[in-house]
Chain A
Amino acid sequence: MQVIENLKVKEKVYIEKLENGLTVMIIPKKGIQKKYMIWGTHYGSNESSFIVPGEDELTTVPNGVAHFLEHKLFEQENGTNSLDVLTSLGVEANAYTTNDHTAYLFECTDNFYEAMDELMDYVQHPYFTDENVEKEKGIIGQEIMMYDDYPEWRVYLNAMQAMYHNNPVKIDIVGTIETIRKIDKEILYKCYHTFYNPSNMTMVLCGDFVPENMLEEVKKRLVNTKASGEIKRVYPKEPEEIVQEKIEQKLEVSQPLYTIGIKDTGKCDVKKHIAMEILLNLLIGRSSNLYKELYHEGIVYAQPSLEYEFTNIYAHVLMNGQANNPEKVYQKLKEEVQKFKTNGINKSDFNRMKKMIYGGYVKEYNDVSDIARMFLADYFKGINSFDYLEEIEGITVEYLEQILKDVFKEEKMVLSIVKN
């Protein structure tokens, strides 16, 4: 096994790529009772057009299949539901779907191997029937309606509509009532066999484990599957321009919610991600002049959340919050960006923010579930999580100023508002 050690947080990750293509990562945590296992496939709501290995023709499926599969995998041929079985073992089991991956997980103190049996069994044995697929449409339908009532979700998704013409990040991960209606067991099987091949999957285990032994336990439970060839993922062409600058929706809320988005192009790497985090905090973070001004003028009453989101097919900045006048926040942010561009970045502010971001990375290593989820999500982006701790030192003011110029362009900005 390949071993990577990080001396800053004093942790190690053991990595092995098995013959069937599956990547296994083990992060031992001595003295912790909690154990965590997560198994993910590099397949999320982004993938709805693809060429199955060995086929020539393009397959296109309705939106929401990845998430539908996540729900349905728990169902077993013998009539049991794996979520029930896992819960009976006293473990906390769950699953989730994102834009670029789907993951199955559990957290426990006791019965780890029994739970591992169950998890690895159900992920490797799909069982879909016309009845059980139909039944799920009712439950997912309620899940979709639940999200319709979340203003935070609406304001985010609308920002995606404003930024993207065709990129699948603009579609709802769960699909819509109309698209899920078209899903049947054939579609589910086809997507399952394409994307749940071990060569497209990664497993992360974190807890008080001996890595070599744990790897054997994993191997024992794998069914015999050969690594498939490359899945050709076909994404629609996305122009660099945004769709529209402003978008608004009415919902019953106490105060307007806003998302300011900045569409970015090109690949993102660890270095750029760190720089974006420092930059966003300098611009509108807790100690920034802009936040101070907005707070004092009573425009906002809490710091906006700041994020730089990216996968292999998109990258954008997101700032979310509530404000009595989102237009004002948007205007002032534009002015502040201009000021930063003209005056340059203050060196001592920069150093302080670097320290803060560093501390934030260290804190990620407190909890086995946070660690495992981080390693999995980063892996699908082609990143080793430890790199954040190592690369931060090398970030310079000059690099930040370059990023500021490249990313913070007025013509790439959008404002999404949800209000009464």
Chain B
Amino acid sequence: MEYKQTELKKGIKLHTIQTDKFKTNLIAVFITTKLNRENVTKNAVISAILRRGSKTMPSQEEISKQMEEMYGASFDCGLDKMGDNQVLKFYLETVNDDFLPQKEEDILKISLEKLLEIVLNPYTENEGFKPEYVEQEKNNIKQRIEGKIDNKARYALDRCIEEMYKNKPFGLYKFGYVEDLENINEKNLYVYYQELISSCKIDIFVSGILKDNINQVVTENENIKKLKERTPDYIVPKELNKDLPKEEKVVTESMEVTQGKLILGLNICLEKEDLRYDTLIYNSILGGSANSKMFQNVREKAHLAYVANSNYLRYKNNIFVNCGIEIGNYQKALELIREQIENMKKGEFTQEDINNAKKGIIATIKTIDDEQDTGITYYFGQELSESGISIEEYMERIKQVSKEDVIHIGENVAIDTIYFLKD
């Protein structure tokens, strides 16, 4: 495995991961831009509109047919919040030439060109997107926004984040807002798209059995050539929470549910960025594994829940504690969770707990290179946060965490928001 990055132009980077572990090549293009209320909905529609058609593949059917023809190249788009940024993600996965039943022309080169065309050279009419596509995709995004209630566990987490980050960029819903869709039309959206493409951060990832000419294929690509250098408009997620919340916010919401979904949003106050590694261990002991306090005490001992865990959101330094409980058990579960957080602060865990957490985290780090998309996600995370730490250094840093370090994190954790979804 060999990872390399090349700055093609200011603000535009090519990242290559040379690896022979997979049957496939995976290409990804990430468009990163600042998250704000003004543009969040437009970005969501852009991400949907680009898959509708490009210059030489003017419709979705045409794109699909060409992908099918390339042995089922899978084309996929996603939309993510990473810190205070919104990232538009485009992926194309193709079977590597070595595993095709007959000799074909360089599928990697063709697929790379196609993906770049989809993102950078969309189908247009009269200086705008195709009106029909815009109308349909606005409707599509509307469905997605309204669809956030469909998965109740996910909805509860989204709502907790929204409450914690009220009137702040990170509180925005990644698909945007229905009322903001109204003002979008084929002309103003296209104008916005051109602005976005000329000012955003662009990262291109190619992973697989690569030929030497890969850099050349990208630099000489017509769609890359016409891009201008830029000082990309995004936020490096390095900000650390300075203060702990002074009081807890409690939010209860009613919906048609059989099971209550309880989410606790915790804030972690760190003096320096390096403490994020200690926080990983902290989270693992609190609710990150089957050995954790949440799993052991809330599920196994008190039998209050089937799902009882916690997740660390490193870009914002939050931990979200999550469990599905009988609605009448709300107080009981909440008290029990508080007790776990309190015990973490008091250092009521063993050196063995720390060792176990380390083993689990290190095993995950070691497999980064064994999963093609995880590899890309990892290197992109490094790129975005400008940390440039190698996989070896990462493991080393995890190994150094001591009990005092974890207690120190415990002392700097506080509940910000308690969110409960009930019937």
Residue numbers of A with Cβ under 8 A of B are 8-10, 31-34, 81, 83-84, 86-93, 108-111, 135, 138-140, 142-143, 145-146, 148-151, 251-255, 257, 285-287, 292, 295-296, 298, 301, 322, 352-353, 355-360, 362-363, 365-368, 393
- For B362, what are the chain A residues with a Cβ–Cβ distance below 8 Å? 90, 109-110
Q: A253-B150, A292-B60, A366-B372 are in contact. Are A92 and B326 (CB under 8 A)?
A: no
With A89-B359, A140-B306, A255-B143 known as contacts, the answer to whether A8 contacts B99 (CB < 8 A) is yes
B109 CB to nearest chain A CB (Å): 17
Query: A-facing mask of B147-188, CB < 8 A → 1, else 0?
Result: 111111100000000000000000000000000000000000
Bound CA–CA A91/B289 (angstroms): 10
Contacts of A355 in B (CB 8 A): 68-72
Q: By CB atoms of chain B within 10 A, which of A87, A92, A108, A322 has the most?
A: A87
Enumerate 25 A-B pairs (CB-CB under 8 Å) in ascending A order: A10-B98, A31-B21, A32-B370, A87-B290, A88-B352, A110-B363, A111-B359, A139-B299, A139-B306, A142-B324, A142-B325, A143-B306, A149-B259, A252-B255, A254-B148, A255-B146, A295-B136, A296-B136, A301-B140, A352-B68, A352-B69, A355-B70, A358-B71, A359-B71, A359-B95
Q: A109-B366, A252-B149, A363-B93 are in contact. Are A10 and B65 (CB under 8 A)?
A: no
- Mask, B278-304, CB within 8 Å of A = 1, is 000000000001110000100110011
How many Å lie between the Cα of A360 and that of B367 in the bound state? 23
Contacts of A254 on B, CB cut-off 8 Å? 143, 146-150
A324 to B: closest C-beta gap in Å? 8
Q: Tally of A-B residue pairs with Cβ under 8 A?
A: 177
Cross-chain contact B363 with A139 (CB below 8 angstroms): no
Give the residue of B64, B68, B139, B149 whose beta carbon is less than 8 angstroms from that of A301: B139
- Contact indicator A92/B68 (Cβ below 8 Å): no
CB-based contact A88/B146 at 8 Å:
no
B21 and A32 contacting across the interface, CB-CB below 8 Å: yes
Partner pick for B256 among A34, A252, A353, A360, CB 8 A cutoff: A252
Contact partner of A367 (CB less than 8 A), chosen from B61, B304, B370, is B370
Q: Which residues of B contact A252 (CB under 8 A)?
A: 149, 255-257
The 3 A-B pairs with the shortest beta carbon distances in the complex, nearest first, are A90-B359, A359-B71, A359-B72
Contact B359 A110 (CB under 8 A): yes
Q: Which residues of B have CB within 8 Å of A366?
A: 22-24, 372
Contact B147 A322 (CB under 8 A): yes
Residues of B within 8 A of A138 (CB): 303-304
Does B110 touch A at the CB level, under 8 Å? no
Known: A88-B291, A292-B61. A363 touches B255 (CB 8 A): no
> Inside 8 A of A139's CB, which chain B residues have their CB?
299-300, 303, 305-306
Extra contacts besides A252-B257, A362-B23 (10): CB < 8 Å: A90-B360, A90-B362, A90-B363, A143-B306, A149-B153, A150-B151, A255-B147, A301-B144, A355-B71, A356-B67
Q: Give B299-320 interface residues, CB cut-off 8 Å to A.
A: 299-300, 303-307
Smallest CB separation, A43 vs chain B (Å): 22
Contacts A33-B367, A109-B366: A287 and B68 contacting too (C-beta < 8 A)?
yes
